[in-house]
Amino acid sequence: MKHLSLSVPIFLFLLFLSFNTCKAVESDRIIDARAYSMGNTSSVLPGFTNPSSYGFLPSRSLSLGYVSRYGIKELSSFACTVNYPNQYLNGAMYISRYGFDAYNETIVGFNFYKKLSQLISLGMRINYLGVHYSDKESDAGILMGDVGVLMCPADNLNLSFLVINPLRTEIKIGEENTQLANVLTMGISYQPKEMFLLTAEIEKDFALPTIYKFGMEYTPVKELSVRTGMWTKPFTPSFGVGLNLHPFIFNLAFTNHPVLGFQSCCALQFNF
């Protein structure tokens, strides 16, 4: 029984790695509980995923996030994000760690962004990815970049454009060079009424099938938001809630993978 209990999480871990090979520094590696609950439509929502999206947010913030994947602690991730707009240089920093002692990934990212007008914001990100994969080998590390655009043609409409790893950077792990994900994402958010927000995205990893994402947020009172969504490849529903207790915001999200089961995510944000 002991060997059986150990083999199950090991099998799931290997299966998870096969789904996520070369997926580092992609949208599912940047913890965003609000986006997770809305079909992971992260590029069009304010947050670290799209480096330009902070351009329309004047407030500074500090947030902590955690993802529990399928009840296996070795697959969990935690992160810290700081957004600091100012008169000199608008910037944000993100630090996350995924994995466990035998295998883990550390990401350190810096967003630099500028609101050019009332209609458009531009941003770029520099990421450092560090991978520990063997106690007998040196850790692997690489720098890479992302570029994002957020447009606001109307008060209730946002359009996003995000390119992850446009230079198609590779990382050398052991004796092999591994191509990191090269992803193009286009998104839209529409707010027909103050209490409703609708989001949609198309994500294309050039090594994988296209993913379609959809999300919805309902805010009956300013302190509470209820969210739901889904994405394809495979079909994965999501749902969650948000509590806005100024200056704190707490977000909780759940997704259900058709094979691996439930994944939960929580985040606490402090605006200052």
Q: What homologous superfamily does CATH list for 2-271?
A: Outer membrane protein transport protein (OMPP1/FadL/TodX) (2.40.160.60)
pLDDT of 88: 80
Query: Is 1's pLDDT higher than 90?
Result: no
Q: pLDDT tens digits, residue range 64-106? A: 999 999 888 889 999 999 999 988 889 999 999 999 988 999 9
Percent of the chain with pLDDT strictly greater than 90 = 73
Taking all residues of the chain, what is their mean pLDDT, rounded to a whole number?
89
The full 3-state SS of the chain, as one line of letters, equals CHHHHHHHHHHHHHHHHHHHCCCCCCHHHCCCHHHHHCCCCCCCCCCCCCCCHHHHCCCCEEEEEEEEECCCHHHCEEEEEEEECCCCCCEEEEEEEEECCCCEEEEEEEEEEEECCCCEEEEEEEEEEEEECCCCCCCEEEEEEEEEEEEEEECCEEEEEEEECCCCCEEEECCEEEECCCEEEEEEEEEEECCEEEEEEEEEECCCCCEEEEEEEEEEECCEEEEEEEECCCCEEEEEEEEEECCEEEEEEEEEECCCEEEEEEEEEEEC
Query: Is 111's pLDDT higher than 70?
Result: yes
Q: pLDDT tens digits, residue range 213-259? A: 999 999 999 999 999 999 998 999 999 999 999 999 999 999 999 99
